[in-house]
Amino acid sequence: MTESDFTSILSRHGIRPTQQRIAVYKYLVSNPSHPSADTIYRALSEQYPVFSRTTIYNSLNTLVEAGLVRTVNICPEEQRFDATIDDHGHFICEKCNGIFDFDLNPEVLDKLCPEGFKFRQGDVFFSGTCPDCSR
């Protein structure tokens, strides 16, 4: 994806494609490791010397409201962010602390949802041991 791709994606979602928002969104797309706001801040601060922490939060909130980014409530102490917005599951390895994405069949998700309830978003979290740590 080129710089102008990001620009047009933001525009299409109704938000002004500022340098900062593009940088944050680009970082999330390139780093699908569910980074925290602080992780993003520290990474971008190296590239762009002046980049306020508040702007990271502002940009993330804007991107979430625009539907381009999802929040992931994996750890209670800090919010994590994800540019993959289609429904998918998260596996958190309790040994290596790695976070793994996995596909989620939308129909299965539908079946899980209790009758009469209409879900907009579904999250599935597993915690346990990943294949590598199981050995």
Partner DNA sequence: ATAATTTTTTGTAATCAATACAATTATTTA
Partner DNA sequence: TAAATAATTGTATTGATTACAAAAAATTAT
Chosen from a second copy, DNA, none, partner binding at 19 (C-beta under 5 to 8 Å by type): DNA
Quote the tokens at residue 55. 């702007």
H helix or E strand, kind and range, residue 4 = helix 3-12
The verdict on 10 binding DNA (CB under 7 A) reads no
CB atoms within 10 A of CB 74: 18
Q: Is 96 exposed, middle or buried (0-12, 13-18, 19+ CB in 10 A)?
A: exposed
Chain residues binding a second copy by CB under 8 A are 71, 73-76, 79, 89, 91, 94, 100, 102-104, 108, 111-114, 116-131, 134
Q: How far apart are CA 57 and CA 38, in angstroms?
A: 9
Which CB atom, from 46 or from 107, has the smaller least distance to a second copy?
A: 107
Candidate segments 26-34, 50-58, 95-103, 110-118, binder of DNA by CB under 7 A:
50-58
Q: How far apart are CA 26 and CA 1, in angstroms?
A: 9
The verdict on 92 binding DNA (CB under 7 A) reads no
Distance of closest approach, residue 91 Cβ to a second copy, in angstroms: 5
H helix or E strand, kind and range, residue 71 = strand 70-72
Chosen from a second copy, DNA, none, partner binding at 52 (C-beta under 5 to 8 Å by type): DNA
Which CB atom, from 75 or from 133, has the smaller least distance to DNA?
A: 75
